[in-house]
């Protein structure tokens, strides 16, 4: 197109403005990030998305703030890159904060870009990945920054259960800013790089007198093991983005889609002899439930979620004949696999995610019950444990339980009780299903006989044996129809495949309501 020679060529102008805007904080910012062992906002997007697939939104947006000299400190893009692209061919929406622009702080326009991206993702029915590296609310912009966060939290909540939302913390994430990741489905952190806290070490020192380092307070290790705020911990950013891509491979784009089907692998076979030796016959001997899981699901591939938090329950994603499923297993190597406050929270949240996104649930049950003790009772194990019952009762995806060894009491109900709406309940021949373990049961119901006996220990042993013979087998439950089928361990994969095929097109309506009121 001809143009006035006095004015710059519009195409050249576009190119110059684009390249200026794409440089974000420029070389100094890039150098600073790299010096701190961090990637830049754009490098992170490149690591996440299929090459050349990124479409950027609002490249030319800038801050409108003028107070505190902000008019002289505007940066193109206002400290965040937003847009969409593809991860292994699946459409996703992305925001990546640029710490080089005013510490990645969130002002009015920065927030507006994120809000717009969130709204587009919801309309498109595609997952959101947010990459956070920020000093929080931009102090210069006051209430407008807070308003921005409010809109983001509101959209996070509207999108919850509609599209998967993933947060990646690759720098600071402090103050109220932490609540966006906390509302999303999965939080990834990088060891030594990510820091997440409500109030920092200085404020803590001033208020409580405690001395704590940033890493001890809000590093990846502490959040992935102690607080449970992070679901995944990576050793570096590259590993982190690879893990995010793997997680996305199990997920549908939205709540109306089915999870993506993969090819059926060659291993393991439907009848797998490797499984025969995994569970020790003696009920008190531990084994690692992951040895069952990896011998049952496609290629032994299992993406564990919350691997270092509440280790007494194992949750994660796997595939059965190409179909993604949510897998749950009590972990006998940790606290004998009991349910307690943290494992109940971990489990209930996972179940609700799977239910929202059409992932069938498969439970490997070996649970002696809920953890006794004042610490648990005072901490609210009743309301936390109730979440598990609520989450499973509410879930109407296919629900299959395999009772591996013990399934006692309330934990039996939660994880394998037909009454809760399980579609199939399978059991190994050495499964024990009862209100409680034989020792505890005999001491209660035969207290008088044991107390009055000449040899109380002998009578106790006899009564324990009597109880065990009657209840500590799956046949009593099978007689009442509360166990469908009893299988040998080697038959597990084939039996689970049939159970899923039988329930693949399950439809189960729920009463119309605004929403339930899950115990917290």
Residues assigned a catalytic role: 175-176, 410-411
- Return the percent helix, strand and coil in the chain, to nearest 5: 45, 20, 35
CB atoms within 10 A of CB 474: 23
Question: In the structure encoding, which two tokens stand for residue 304, read together?
Answer: 């564990």
Q: Tell me the C-alpha distance between 240 and 256, whole Å.
A: 28
Sheet of 90-97, strand order: 55-57, 80-87, 90-97, 128-132, 165-169, 186-190, 232-234
Smallest distance, ligand HXC to C-beta of residue 209, A: 20
Q: Who's near 112: CB < 8 A, 6+ residues apart? A: 61, 148
Q: Which is nearer to ligand HXC, 194 or 407 (CB)?
A: 194
Smallest distance, ligand HXC to C-beta of residue 99, A: 7
Q: Which is nearer to ligand HXC, 141 or 423 (CB)?
A: 141
Residues in the chain, overall count = 520
Q: Which is nearer to ligand HXC, 200 or 380 (CB)?
A: 200
- Bridging pattern class, strands 485-486 and 323-330: unpaired
Binding residues for ligand HXC, per CB under 6 A? Answer: 102-103, 105, 135-140, 146, 149, 172, 174-177
Q: Which is nearer to ligand HXC, 179 or 475 (CB)?
A: 179
Contact 182, 165 (CB under 8 A): no
DSSP 306-339: STTSSTTEEEEEEEETTEEEEEEEE-TTTGGG-B
Q: Tell me the C-alpha distance between 231 and 305, whole Å.
A: 6
Smallest distance, ligand HXC to C-beta of residue 138, A: 4
Smallest distance, ligand HXC to C-beta of residue 182, A: 11
Smallest distance, ligand HXC to C-beta of residue 203, A: 9
Smallest distance, ligand HXC to C-beta of residue 220, A: 16
296 phi/psi in degrees, rounded to 5 = -110, -45
Question: In the structure encoding, which two tokens stand for residue 351, read together?
Answer: 């179940």
Q: Tell me the C-alpha distance between 80 and 98, whole Å.
A: 5
Residue with tokens 């902000």: 70
Q: Which is nearer to ligand HXC, 105 or 312 (CB)?
A: 105
Q: Which is nearer to ligand HXC, 125 or 175 (CB)?
A: 175
What kind and span of H or E run contains 132?
strand 128-132
> What is the torsion angle, in degrees rounded to the nearest 10, for the CA atoms of residue 201, residue 202, residue 208 and residue 210?
50
Q: Which is nearer to ligand HXC, 91 or 146 (CB)?
A: 146
Smallest distance, ligand HXC to C-beta of residue 25, A: 9
């Amino acid at each position: 197109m001809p143009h006035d020679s006095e004015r710059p060529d519009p195409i050249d102008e576009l190119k110059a403005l684009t390249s200026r805007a794409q440089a974000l904080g420029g070389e100094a910012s890039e150098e600073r990030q790299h010096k701190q062992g961090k990637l830049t906002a754009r490098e992170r997007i490149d690591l996440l998305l299929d090459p050349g697939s990124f479409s950027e939104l609002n490249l030319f947006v800038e801050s409108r703030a003028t107070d505190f000299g902000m008019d002289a400190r505007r940066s193109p893009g206002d400290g965040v890159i937003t847009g969409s692209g593809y991860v292994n061919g699946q459409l996703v929406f992305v925001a990546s904060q640029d710490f080089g622009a005013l510490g990645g702080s969130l002002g009015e326009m920065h927030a507006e870009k994120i809000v717009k991206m969130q709204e587009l993702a919801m309309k498109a029915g595609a997952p959101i990945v947010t990459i956070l590296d920020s000093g929080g609310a931009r102090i210069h912009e006051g209430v407008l920054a807070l308003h921005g966060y409010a809109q983001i939290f509101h959209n996070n909540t509207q999108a919850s259960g509609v599209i998967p939302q993933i947060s990646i913390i690759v720098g600071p994430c402090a103050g109220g800013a932490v609540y966006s990741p906390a509302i999303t489905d999965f939080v990834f952190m990088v060891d030594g790089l990510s820091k997440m806290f409500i109030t920092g070490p200085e404020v803590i020192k001033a208020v409580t007198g405690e001395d704590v380092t940033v890493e001890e307070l809000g590093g990846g290790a502490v959040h992935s093991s102690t607080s449970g705020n992070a679901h995944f911990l990576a050793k570096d950013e590259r590993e982190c983005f690879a893990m995010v891509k793997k997680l996305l491979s199990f997920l549908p784009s939205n709540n109306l889609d089915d999870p993506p089907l993969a090819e059926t692998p060659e291993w393991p076979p439907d009848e797998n002899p490797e499984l025969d030796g995994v569970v020790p016959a003696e009920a008190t001997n531990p084994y690692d439930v992951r040895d069952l899981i990896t011998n049952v699901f496609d290629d032994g591939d299992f993406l564990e979620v919350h691997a270092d938090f509440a280790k007494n329950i194992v949750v994660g994603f796997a595939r059965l004949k190409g179909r993604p499923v949510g897998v749950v297993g009590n972990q006998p190597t940790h606290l004998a696999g009991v349910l307690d406050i943290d494992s109940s929270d971990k489990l209930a949240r996972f179940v609700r995610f799977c239910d929202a996104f059409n992932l069938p649930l498969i439970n490997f049950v070996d649970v002696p019950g809920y953890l006794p003790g004042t610490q648990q009772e005072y901490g609210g194990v009743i309301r936390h444990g109730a979440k598990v019952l609520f989450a499973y009762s509410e879930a109407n995806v296919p629900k299959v339980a395999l009772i591996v060894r013990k399934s006692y009491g309330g934990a039996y109900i939660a994880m394998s009780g037909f009454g809760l709406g399980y579609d199939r309940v399978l059991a190994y021949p050495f499964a024990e299903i009862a209100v409680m373990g034989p020792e505890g049961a005999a001491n209660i119901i035969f207290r008088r006989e044991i107390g009055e006996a000449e040899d109380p220990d002998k009578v106790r042993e006899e009564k324990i044996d009597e109880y065990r013979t009657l209840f500590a087998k799956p046949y009593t439950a099978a007689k009442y129809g509360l166990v469908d089928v009893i299988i040998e361990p080697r038959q597990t994969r084939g039996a689970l495949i049939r159970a899923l095929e039988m329930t693949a097109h399950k439809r189960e309506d729920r009463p119309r309501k605004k929403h339930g009121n899950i115990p917290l």
